[in-house]
Amino acid sequence: RKEVEQDPGPFNVPEGATVAFNCTYSNSASQSFFWYRQDCRKEPKLLMSVYSSGNEDGRFTAQLNRASQYISLLIRDSKLSDSATYLCVVNSGTYKYIFGTGTRLKVLA
Amino acid sequence: GAGVSQSPSNKVTEKGKDVELRCDPISGHTALYWYRQSLGQGLEFLIYFQGNSAPDKSGLPSDRFSAERTGGSVSTLTIQRTQQEDSAVYLCASSQAGAQYYEAFFGQGTRLTVV
């Protein structure tokens, strides 16, 4: 079983739609969680950290469920510019960031 | 500089040649990482530095791969006797000390093509 698993997609959604991605992790000792965004042929960039209480940044909401060992990302009112690959990242409390393979999102006009 | 800087941005090399990839992390970041991303794949961890020491080299795919970091700053990743399967984007990232709660910042990567 992979340490971090994501549905690769692609998720094709119309502009204005709400879309949600889940990511599961296998190490129950994992300490910190992030969502990164990666555009085609670009480096990953931090979208948001994921806190235990959940957090929101504009149209983006991240949730953590420790009992079920998953994190989620919700995007409301999707924009064309949201089209990208979204990477789930987990840190087990040491130094190593473990990346999921990413979920591709395409927002269609 | 303001961000993580990597050079060269693109490298085409012949099979069997050695290559050196350079990473200049964000000033003050003691943690430095090398990852590899093959086309359409996720990020594969290669090596981690804390200061100048590399406590985890477990991700290096073979003994043809080595990395060093000097002065707690610049790092070089060296691939000897390159093979076609080494073709990938090599990404460097840096993070603050006590890295687990801080995000990693990535450079733009070096796209390596072995022909």
Mind listing the pLDDT tens digit for each residue in B38-62? 987 889 999 999 888 887 888 999 9
Host H or E run for residue B33: strand B31-37
CB contact under 8 A, B42 and A42: no
- Displacement of CA B71 from its chain's centroid (Å): 16
CB contact under 8 A, B43 and A34: no
Question: Which whole number is the average pLDDT over B60-86?
Answer: 95
Q: Residue B99: pLDDT band by 50, 70, 90 thresholds? A: low
Question: Which whole number is the average pLDDT over B96-113?
Answer: 83
Q: Give the best-scoring range by mean pLDDT among A26-30, B39-43, B98-102, B110-114.
A: B110-114
Mind listing the pLDDT tens digit for each residue in A50-87? 988 889 999 999 999 999 999 999 999 999 999 999 99
B56 closest CB neighbour out of A43, A96, A102: A96
Tokens matching residue A93: 């409390």
CA distance A93 to B100: 5
Q: What is the pLDDT of residue B51?
A: 85
A96 closest CB neighbour out of B42, B45, B108: B45
Q: What is the pLDDT of residue B97?
A: 66
Tokens matching residue B3: 């961000």
A to B CB pairs, distance under 8 Å: 51
Give the number of C-alpha atoms closer than 13 A to the C-alpha of residue A7, restricted to the C-beta side: 11
Q: Give the best-scoring range by mean pLDDT among A7-11, B70-74, B111-115.
A: B111-115
Q: What is the pLDDT of residue B102?
A: 78
CB contact under 8 A, B48 and A98: no
HEC string for chain A = CCCEEECCCCEEEECCCCEEEEEEECCCCCCEEEEEEECCCCCCEEEEEECCCCEEECCEEEEEECCCCEEEEEECCCCHHHCEEEEEEEECCCCCEEECCCEEEEEEC
C-alpha distances in angstroms, A89 versus A53, B14, B101, B105, B111?
17, 34, 12, 13, 22
CB contact under 8 A, B106 and A43: yes
pLDDT reading at A2 higher than 90: no
Percent of chain A surpassing pLDDT 70: 98
